[in-house]
């Protein structure tokens, strides 16, 4: 498939880019940053909040799908968050409608349900329960994907990613880890699943201590092979572990992340 990958210069983007090429896809990169070393293909240096620039990039070549990873990965003010997650997704969806691209794979986050107390394995039917404005942005972007799936017949797969890391570094990560190889498997499955319509899956590895249900992902064809448990012996317990285990969003659900929605300092 010919795939436009936003955030292609980012930490997830570079791994996914190489992985998709290995799996026989053609990747067109898009990022605020310029082409990273080693990327061999078409590249668009574009800010995804600019709908004209996004439409130009989407229309510049025929595409089978978009993988949207570009966004600010941390907590910010509400307006900045909505721009980073919702406006970028809207710009892409409008461009996809305009240029007849009918599939998008979206990097959502566990923080869309992060404020859910950690008492049971969480399915995709759990109510949206963001832990931060970041989580609110992801929930809103998921809603936009659902709207465009219903209105325009776009296949839209929201992958609620856990902790994308080379290996788990904390006790929470033993539950939330998504390995690099499983991330590629997940995106490939979301790109190639036959007619998924609007779908949500949890993006974690096959962790023995998983907090999210992998069944929806497996039904879509995502079969993770890694398990954070293999690293358990190397992860040292830390004082923050108990607090981080209270809600599935871990640190994001803690008071340290409480802040005003609107920045009135003028900075
Ligand atoms: C995410 O979605 C964030 O982008 C990342 O910074 C981590 O917080 C990760 O989730 C996680 O929950 O570990």
> Is residue 263 in a domain?
no
For the segment 162-198, what is each residue's pLDDT rounded down to a tens digit? Answer: 999 999 999 999 999 999 999 999 999 999 999 999 9
Rounded Cα distance, 25 and 137, in Å: 29
> Is 230 domain-assigned?
yes
Q: How many angstroms separate the CA atoms of 39 and 18, rounded?
A: 8
Mean pLDDT of 26-38: 95
Residue 218 pLDDT grade (very low, low, confident, very high; cuts 50, 70, 90): very high
Average pLDDT, the chain: 97
Distance CA 214, CA 234 (A): 25
Asked, for residue 265, whether it belongs to a domain, the answer is no
Is the CB–ligand 1 distance for residue 179 below 6 Å?
Answer: no
Q: Which residues contact 166 (CB under 8 A, 6 or more apart)?
A: 180
Tell me what percent of the residues of the chain surpass a pLDDT of 90.
Answer: 97
Q: How far is the CA of 249 from the centre of ligand 1 (A)?
A: 8
CB 116 within 8 A of CB 174: no
Question: Which of 73, 202, 244, 257 best tests ligand 1's pocket when mutated (most atoms within 8 Å of CB)?
Answer: 73
Mean pLDDT in residue range 143-151? 98
The answer to whether position 83 is within a domain reads: yes
State which ligand 1 atom lies nearest to the alpha carbon of 173.
Answer: 13
Ligand 1 atom 9 nearest Cα: 163
pLDDT, tens digit (0-9, with 9 covering 90-100), for 148-165: 999 999 999 999 999 999
How many separate domains does the chain show? 1
Alpha-carbon distance of 1 to 26, in angstroms, equals: 6
Model confidence pLDDT, tens digit, residues 221-248: 999 999 999 999 999 999 999 999 999 9
pLDDT band of 263, cuts 50, 70, 90 = confident
Kindly tell me if the per-residue pLDDT of 79 is higher than 80: yes
Range of the domain at 169: 2-257
Query: What's the CA gap between 158 and 127, in Å, rounded?
Result: 15
What is the enclosing helix (H) or strand (E) of 20? helix 11-22
Dihedral, CA of residue 184, residue 219, residue 103 and residue 33, to nearest 10: -20
Residues marked as catalytic: 134
Q: What is the pLDDT of residue 265?
A: 74
Assign residue 197 the CATH number of its domain. 3.40.50.720
Residue 95 lies in a domain: yes
Q: What percent of the chain has pLDDT over 70?
A: 99
204 contacts 217 by C-beta, under 8 angstroms: no
Query: What is the SS3 assignment for 248-260?
Result: CCHHHHCHHHCCC
- At residue 266 the predicted structure's pLDDT band, cuts being 50, 70 and 90, is low
Q: What is the pLDDT of residue 264?
A: 79
Kindly state whether residue 266 falls inside one of the protein's structural domains: no
Q: What integer is the mean pLDDT of 118-131?
A: 96
Which of 70, 82, 212 has its CA nearest to residue 134?
A: 82
Asked whether residue 8 is domain-assigned, the answer is yes
Q: Quote the CA–CA distance of 152 and 235 in Å, as a whole number.
A: 46
Strand pairing class (26-31; 198-203): unpaired
Residue 87 banded pLDDT, cuts 50, 70, 90: very high
The pLDDT score that the predictor gives to residue 267 is: 53
> What residue's CA is closest to ligand 1, atom 7?
163
Ligand 1 nearest-atom number relative to CA 161: 2
Arithmetic mean of pLDDT, 68-80 = 95
76, 111, 160: which to mutate for ligand 1, most atoms within 8 A of CB? 111
For residue 129, give both structure tokens.
Answer: 């329960």
- The reply to whether 267 falls in a domain is no
Which pLDDT score is estimated for 6? 98
Per-residue buried b or exposed e for 6-41, using 16+ beta carbons within 10 Å of the residue's own CB:
bbbbbebbbbbbebbeeeebebbbbbeeebeeebee
Q: What is the pLDDT of residue 235?
A: 97
Is the pLDDT at 211 greater than 60? The verdict is yes
């Amino acid at each position: 498939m010919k795939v436009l990958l936003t955030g292609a210069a980012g930490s997830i983007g570079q791994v996914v880019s190489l992985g998709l090429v290995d799996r026989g896809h053609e990747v067109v990169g898009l990022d605020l940053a310029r082409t990273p070393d080693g990327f061999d293909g078409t590249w668009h240096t574009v800010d995804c909040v600019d709908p004209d620039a996004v439409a130009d990039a989407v229309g510049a070549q025929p595409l089978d799908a978009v993988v949207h990873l570009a966004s600010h990965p941390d907590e910010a003010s509400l307006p900045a968050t909505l721009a980073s997650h919702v406006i970028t997704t809207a710009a892409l969806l409008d461009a996809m409608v305009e240029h007849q691209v009918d599939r998008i794979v979206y990097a959502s986050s566990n923080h869309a349900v992060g404020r859910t107390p950690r008492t049971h394995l969480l399915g995709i039917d759990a109510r949206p329960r963001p832990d931060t404005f970041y989580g609110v942005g992801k929930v809103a972007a998921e809603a936009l994907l659902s709207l465009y799936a219903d209105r325009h017949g776009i296949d839209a797969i929201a992958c609620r990613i856990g902790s994308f890391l080379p290996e788990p570094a904390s006790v929470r990560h033993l539950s939330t880890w998504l390995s690099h190889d499983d991330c590629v498997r997940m995106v490939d499955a979301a790109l190639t699943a036959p007619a998924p319509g609007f779908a949500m899956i949890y993006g974690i590895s096959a962790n023995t201590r998983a907090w999210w249900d992998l069944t929806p992902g497996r039904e879509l064809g995502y079969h993770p092979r890694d398990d954070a448990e293999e690293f358990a012996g190397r992860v040292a317990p830390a004082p923050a572990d108990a607090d981080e285990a209270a809600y599935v969003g871990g640190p994001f659900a803690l008071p340290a992340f409480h802040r005003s929605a609107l920045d009135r300092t003028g900075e």
